Structure 1
Amino acid sequence: MLGTLRKFSSSILAKVFLFIVAIPFVFWGMGDLFSGGNKNTIVKIGKEKISINEFIGYIKYSPEIKDNDLNNQAIRKLFNTFLGEKLISMEIKKLGISLSDISLARVIKNEKIFKKDNKFSRIEYEKFLLKNNMNAVVFENKISQQIKKEILFNFIGGGVVPPVFLINNDYNKINQERYVRYINLNNVFSKKFNFTNEQIKDYYEQNENLFKKNYTTIRFIELNTENLSDGNDYSDYFFKKIDEIDDLIVEGKNINFISKKFNLNIIEEVTFDDSGKSKSNEKKINFSDDMVKNILKNKIKSTLLLEDKNKYYLVEVDEINNIRMNISDPVSKNKIISNLENKVKREFMTVLISKINKNNFKKKDFDSYSLNEEVSIKNTKIISQNDTKIFDQDLINQIYKFPENRVIIVADLGLTKNYLIHIDKIENKSIDKNANDFDNYFNLSKVKMTSTIYDTYDSHLNNKYKIKINEKVLNGVQNYLR
């Protein structure tokens, strides 16, 4: 928690601005929905009761989400952050951390955004507040609170100096050289890929849901200056007509009614899947991916006014059909073969991994496997954890997790790159204090140590304060805001 709260921009103004910018939400009219008795308390920290209104206010001004992102997970995440902020505020108060008005004024006056001709300008300050719909009291309180948090964090983790052995340890983890021998397992798998038509058919029948697609049919009209106004320019008259169409959609009018009213005679029709492709798997519509997503969000007979690539469209969702793809379709067949190949890969790798985990697959077994499967062993030297000449970064990270003289399997998530690897030798490295990048590794070790201190302090706070969350109220907030 503390590590997350600590990650702010270096500018005090930027930090505070995150918490001030107002975002329109549905919270303004919540009224007395949760008021009365314990129903108004969302969490109790020690003897202090935190009201639901305080949490709602926190969400309302949060820059982390938009109004259409208010799902249970987002609300729960915001609540955890809100709880962390409350604990930090209580610690600041208990430790007596304060900031004088003189110090606060000095911070504000040193912000570049409030300067004119390199001097603090009260006018620029007032303009900033007006532009962002803020008042000075709230803004300055936020700045003060943020600086106090910085003082607290420095109190907890400031002054950390990592010892040389930790710096060398972090340096070595990244820069140690590894000599490895490897077998490309794809060369083994390719010999096993010989699927009969019967196997392909059986897979298709047993997994029919994998081969169904939703196809949406829409009717649409591009709205432009030619069909909506007499001129070639986007005039006020054109946008007035756009507004009229928008109002008609709100009133529930469909594309036929609007087309007739504005003499928009040509209505195009197109059918596409969730990726915007036709049944022949071709990209038939000249819409962006975002516009396709916007269309697919809507139900049958929905009429929409959409803007895409600086163009306006009147769109109506005509029908949605769930269609089973034919087994002879190249897309279906490729998908079946790909899934069957991955099944073979998983089965073979499961057998190997089981042997490796039971310590029944060592260097001699590695060599025997190469001979039995008639695949070559290659040798390479990996000069650091950033060396991606042969293996991708994800595979390199997997290799660097294991010690010397171990046989391992590394693979990517899609099972497109799969290797059996023997870590033959590791050469450890250390860094001299006078090296050019010593400070980088010093800071890396310092960050890790500070993070550990924050985690420890986090545990201390959890033990220090008795926290009781009113789950019923929190669930009520989630249900109300969804």
Structure 2
Amino acid sequence: MLSSIRKFSKTFAAKIFIAIIALPFIFWGMGPLFVSGEKNVLLEINDNKINSEEFITYIQKINLNRDEVERIGKSKIFDQILTNYISEKIIAIETEKKGIQLTDRALKNILINDKYFLKDGKFSRTKYEKFLLKNRYAAPIYERSVANVELKGQLLTYYGGGIKLPKFIINDSYKRENQIKEIDFIDLNKIYSKNTPSEEDIKSFYEKNKSLFKEKFKTFKYLELTPEILTEKKDFDEDYFKKLDSIENDILDGKTFDSIVSRNKQKVINIKLVNSRKSNQDGVFLKKINDTLLKKIFSIENKNKPEFISFNNNYYVAEVLDEKDMVLTLKDQEFKKKIMAQLEINFIIKENAKLLEKIRNKKFHEKEMLQLSKKNNVTINKAKINNIKDTSKFSPNLLKTIYKFNSGQIFVLSDDLLKKNYLVRITKEKDPKIDPNSDIYKQYVAKANAEYISKVYKSYDNYINANYKIDVNNKVLERLKNSF
């Protein structure tokens, strides 16, 4: 018996939008690998058994080149094809149930009116046949794929088409985004900024998380290969580049760093245990090394082996001598600032949570908002927001949150990074009016219809999940994958 190893009907609404895969595919090495009988059944859709040969035939009609398979991954692309195949099977069952058909005449009209096949405004048989040859399609196979796409569209239209929503729904859709809202708000950052992490807090946080504060440090040496060093001239001439080539060859031949720079030892720069931020363990900043050079040195994997480095007409020979993962210290001021920033965020999260808990338990109202303002000596600001696109005071994302609340409600408003934090109370709302004959009204009719149809599709998705049991024979599936 087949086991329910993979359930491909989780999101049918997404599946019915999957386009028919029309990329070139070379299905190599399959041959007559499969035998008849139960062992050859790839999947079951309810009581409908589908064998592997049928699925192979489906794949052979898809064109996907070897590079595409390697880029996406054999297993992943195989699962995508199977998902699309199951989707088409279910759609075929559903369209048959609903009596949805596509006549030969209707299919012909779709093809002869396709802009891709028109020449001088008329259908061109030559352009059509060239398209089939270029994409390795047989005409019956391509026409079936077009028919499948059309049937999908008709099925969706069956469930979502012809909807005429009442005016109050359209008006409500317009009101949700264009309602005028008057608000009181406190900038919580003016309160939170008064809290500065103490040295004790910083040290405590550091000690508790010490194991997380490791960075890679490297000890290395390098020599800049300037014309003055290699040729004792300032010119980037042929002689200079011959010297560079010679050094590259020496490195490939296994010569040591010291032997390569033997004539210029005094000009070699030695750097001891520095991180990629150009500082040592205590945060002392190293200014004398080029940023790009340091980045390239940190990409060197082998120790005690010279490397030739070049960028922007600058040339170096460098060698990594040592590499250590070391715990940063609080003497590193840049690192310390990061800890302080994290503590400040933790504080904001904690304080926001306290306010949210009080609001949720109905223990924070207009009176408490006024008390918070007086206690912390911060102003309660007022603002008028004309619609959800009015960014004069708040960003688009914050406006979306504001428009989820109604008059009289109090809530905490924060951006994703907690850089902006507000306590907001909606004091007044004014519903806008819309002219049913205006272009804006037509836009909201379309928008409301789209929202309603989306709900219909979601409901249909639930129906599909409830009425279709899809079982995949994993052994057969893996055997197919391994035969690529």
> TM-score surpassing 0.5?
yes
- The C-alpha deviation readout for 1:250-278, integer Å capped at 9, x for no partner, is xxxxx9899569xxxx9xxxx9xxxx976
TM-align CA RMSD: 4.9
Q: Distance in 1 between matches of 2:219 and 2:89?
A: 51
Q: Which residue of 2 aligns with 1:46?
A: 46
Structure 1 residues 332 and 59: alpha-carbon distance in aligned structure 2, compared to 1, 3 A threshold: farther
Is the 8 Å Cα contact of residues 16 and 87 (structure 2) preserved in structure 1? no
Q: Distance in 2 between matches of 1:33 and 1:201?
A: 67
Number of matched pairs: 413
Is the 8 Å Cα contact of residues 71 and 478 (structure 1) preserved in structure 2? no
The alignment partner of 2:355 has SS state of helix
Does 2:206 align with 1:204? yes
1:353 Cα shift?
A: 1.0
Q: Which residue of 1 aligns with 2:14?
A: 4
1:463 Cα shift?
A: 3.2
Q: What amino acid is the match of 2:48?
A: E
1:173 Cα shift?
A: 0.8
Alignment of 1:297-312 (within 5 A): none
Does 2:182 align with 1:184? no
The alignment partner of 1:181 has SS state of strand
Is the 8 Å Cα contact of residues 69 and 77 (structure 2) preserved in structure 1? no
Is the 8 Å Cα contact of residues 183 and 425 (structure 2) preserved in structure 1? yes
1:189 Cα shift?
A: 0.6
Does 2:336 align with 1:333? yes
The alignment partner of 2:182 has SS state of strand
Name which of 396, 400, 403 aligns with 1:397.
400
Q: Which has the larger radius of gyration?
A: 2
Q: Distance in 2 between matches of 1:41 and 1:208?
A: 56
Is the 8 Å Cα contact of residues 59 and 78 (structure 1) preserved in structure 2? no
Q: Percent identity?
A: 30
Does 2:132 align with 1:134? no
TM-score normalised by structure 1 residue count: 0.70
Does 2:432 align with 1:450? no
- The C-alpha deviation readout for 1:183-204, integer Å capped at 9, x for no partner, is 11111111012421x4323322
The alignment partner of 2:193 has SS state of helix
Q: Which residue of 2 aligns with 1:20?
A: 22
The alignment partner of 1:20 has SS state of coil
The alignment partner of 1:376 has SS state of coil
Is the 8 Å Cα contact of residues 63 and 136 (structure 2) preserved in structure 1? no
The alignment partner of 1:390 has SS state of coil
Structure 1 residues 428 and 35: alpha-carbon distance in aligned structure 2, compared to 1, 3 A threshold: farther
Alignment of 1:467-478 (within 5 A): 467-470=470-473, 476=478
Q: Distance in 1 between matches of 2:184 and 2:479?
A: 57
1:21 Cα shift?
A: 1.4
Unaligned runs of 5+ in 1: 9-14, 219-254, 302-308, 310-317
- The C-alpha deviation readout for 1:112-157, integer Å capped at 9, x for no partner, is 2222333322222233233333333322221111112112222222
Name which of 347, 351, 355 aligns with 1:344.
347
Q: Which residue of 1 aligns with 2:164?
A: 161
Name which of 349, 364, 373 aligns with 2:376.
373
Q: Distance in 1 between matches of 2:202 and 2:161?
A: 63
Is the 8 Å Cα contact of residues 407 and 426 (structure 2) preserved in structure 1? yes
Q: Which residue of 1 aligns with 2:439?
A: 436
Q: Distance in 2 between matches of 1:22 and 1:355?
A: 60
TM-score normalised by structure 2 residue count: 0.70
Q: What amino acid is the match of 2:291?
A: K
Is the 8 Å Cα contact of residues 13 and 461 (structure 2) preserved in structure 1? no
Is the 8 Å Cα contact of residues 182 and 379 (structure 1) preserved in structure 2? yes
Q: Which residue of 2 aligns with 1:116?
A: 119
Structure 1 residues 129 and 35: alpha-carbon distance in aligned structure 2, compared to 1, 3 A threshold: same
Q: What amino acid is the match of 1:382?
A: I
Q: What amino acid is the match of 1:47?
A: D
The alignment partner of 2:426 has SS state of strand
1:210 Cα shift?
A: 3.8
Q: What amino acid is the match of 2:188?
A: L
1:446 Cα shift?
A: 0.9
Is the 8 Å Cα contact of residues 25 and 60 (structure 2) preserved in structure 1? no
Structure 1 residues 35 and 185: alpha-carbon distance in aligned structure 2, compared to 1, 3 A threshold: farther
Q: What amino acid is the match of 1:46?
A: N
